[in-house]
């Protein structure tokens, strides 16, 4: 008879796997700054001369000066910091690592014993570095504060623009900014923006009170100071090592707009011409502004000439065509035989082109009335353009 034989599995213990240690820390140089381009090295050759040591582990420091060695075998180590190919610091006592350890080993080269061991030349170089670094830190802080001021002021001006709101605080903020860094052109241009906007605020109050702006000393002072600030910004930009044409043009354009508000169309036209010279690629807008200022000042011939330059620079802007049509319509003659108004050459074409580019523009109804009165056919197939 067969009998069942029980088979018992006998477990065999697997050999233990040795567990290494993890070491991490932060490396600070004598100036108190993180060592970002260094290496941390581990050696068991503690008693050997530096040239004879062999390193078992080498890891880099990161952008914050931190390092991490995740697989260091147990034992006694000297841990060394290397920077730019030279050993600059080390642990004075052995670091004992056991299996599974997670140990922090920091290097702070600002410690007194490290500084005291430096040569006089090294100490002087360190002091010079600290002074220069402090100056750079102050400069960076100032720039950061100025950038924050600029962002805040620009947001305020945008919010105040529709209602010509009070921006006196922004004027004060930008005055402080140009006082802090008087050689920065963009600050002067932004200062001009705030002064012009505050002048507009006062001018609106004058208009509401049926008072001429020219009699308001405060409004005129804001406008005058704005013009000076714009010109200062333009001059600084032109004299800089890396001029920014768009900024210089914006300064002259701002000066032109402000001069127009002061009732100085000829000076305003000259400022717009300077804007064109600074940034020819945007000549259509600047000539268009010149044409508008001259037309509003009753200088029809000069306005028509500026409008022609604006059209030549950018034939897709509608407003110069309207200004040209308006400037020319005043020169119309009356034919007694036909009892018709005869517009000068180019007038009807300018009106028609305006409607083609801006059929729903702010002047479209007025243009249609004029063309109708002249007996001209209005093309109803025009579609709204992108530029208004």
161 and 212 in one domain? yes
Q: Is the residue at 203 inside a domain? A: yes
- Average pLDDT (259-274) is 97
143 pLDDT more than 90: no
Give percent of the chain with pLDDT exceeding 90: 82
Asked if 265 and 325 sit in the same domain, the reply is: no
The whole-chain average pLDDT of the chain stands at: 91
Q: Are residues 66 and 98 in the same domain?
A: yes
Residue 110 covered by a domain:
yes
The set of residues, in sequence order, having a beta carbon less than 8 Å from that of 360 and lying 6+ positions away, is: 384
Identify the pLDDT of residue 337: 85
Supply the CATH number for residue 265's domain: 1.25.40.10
Quote the percentage of the chain above a pLDDT of 70.
Answer: 93
Residue 206 placed within a domain = yes
> Are 291 and 176 in the same domain?
yes
Per-residue pLDDT reduced to its tens digit, 175-193:
999 999 999 999 999 999 9
Picking from 76, 99, 116, the residue at the C-terminal end of a domain is: 116
One domain for residues 238 and 381: no
- 171 and 194 in contact (C-beta within 8 Å)? yes
Residues 266 and 386 occupy one common structural domain: no
Q: Are residues 214 and 358 in the same domain?
A: no
Which residues form the domain of 229? 147-317
Asked whether 118 and 30 are in contact (CB, 8 A), the reply is: yes
Count of other CB atoms within 10 angstroms of residue 167: 26
Q: Mark which of 317, 349, 367 sits at the end of a domain.
A: 317
* Whether residue 170 is found in the same domain as residue 109: no
The rounded Cα 31 to chain-centroid distance in angstroms is 32
30 and 48 belong to one structural domain: yes
Is residue 142 very low, low, confident or very high in pLDDT (cuts 50, 70, 90)? confident
pLDDT band of residue 382 (cuts 50, 70, 90) is low
**Token pair 């709204």 in the structure block, residue:** 384
Query: Is the pLDDT at 87 greater than 70, yes or no?
Result: yes
Lowest mean pLDDT among 6-15, 29-38, 322-331: 6-15
Q: How confident is the model at residue 369 (pLDDT cuts 50, 70, 90)?
A: very high
Q: Do 156 and 196 fall into the same domain?
A: yes
Q: Does 278 score more than 70 pLDDT? A: yes
Q: What is the pLDDT of residue 388?
A: 39
Domain final residue pick, 317, 337, 359: 317
Q: Is residue 45 part of a domain?
A: yes
Q: How many domains does the chain have?
A: 3
């Amino acid at each position: 008879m067969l009998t069942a034989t029980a088979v018992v599995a006998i477990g065999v213990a697997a050999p233990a796997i040795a567990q290494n240690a993890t070491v991490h820390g932060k490396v600070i140089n004598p100036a108190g700054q993180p060592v970002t381009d260094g290496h941390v090295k581990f050696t068991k050759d503690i008693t050997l001369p530096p040239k004879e040591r062999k390193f078992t582990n080498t890891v880099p420091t990161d952008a914050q000066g931190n390092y991490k060695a995740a697989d260091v075998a147990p034992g006694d180590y000297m841990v060394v910091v290397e920077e730019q190919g030279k050993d600059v610091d080390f642990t004075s006592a052995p670091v004992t690592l056991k299996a599974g350890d997670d140990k922090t080993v920091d290097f702070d080269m600002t410690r007194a014993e490290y500084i005291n061991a430096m040569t006089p030349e090294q100490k002087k170089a360190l002091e010079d570095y600290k002074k220069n670094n402090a100056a750079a830190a102050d400069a960076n802080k100032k720039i950061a504060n100025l950038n924050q001021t600029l962002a805040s002021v620009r947001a305020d001006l945008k919010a105040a623009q529709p209602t010509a709101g009070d921006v006196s605080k922004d004027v004060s903020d930008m005055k402080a900014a140009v006082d802090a860094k008087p050689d920065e052109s963009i600050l002067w241009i932004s200062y001009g923006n705030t002064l012009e906007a505050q002048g507009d605020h006062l001018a609106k109050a004058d208009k509401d009170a049926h008072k001429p702006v020219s009699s308001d000393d405060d409004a005129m002072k804001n406008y005058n100071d704005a013009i000076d600030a714009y010109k200062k910004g333009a001059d600084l930009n032109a004299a800089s090592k890396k001029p920014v044409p768009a900024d210089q043009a914006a300064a002259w354009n701002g000066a032109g707009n402000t001069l127009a508000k002061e009732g100085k169309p000829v000076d305003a036209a000259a400022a717009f011409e300077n804007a064109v010279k600074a940034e020819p690629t945007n000549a259509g807008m600047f000539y268009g502004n010149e044409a508008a200022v001259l037309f509003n000042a009753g200088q029809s011939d000069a306005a028509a000439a500026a409008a022609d330059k604006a059209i030549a620079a950018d034939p897709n802007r509608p407003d110069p065509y309207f200004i040209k049509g308006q400037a020319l319509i005043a020169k119309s003659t009356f034919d007694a035989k036909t009892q018709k108004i005869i517009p000068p050459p180019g007038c009807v074409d300018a009106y028609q082109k305006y409607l083609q580019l801006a059929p729903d523009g702010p002047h479209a109804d007025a243009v249609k009335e004029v063309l109708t009165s002249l007996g001209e056919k209005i093309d109803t197939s025009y579609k709204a353009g992108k530029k208004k």
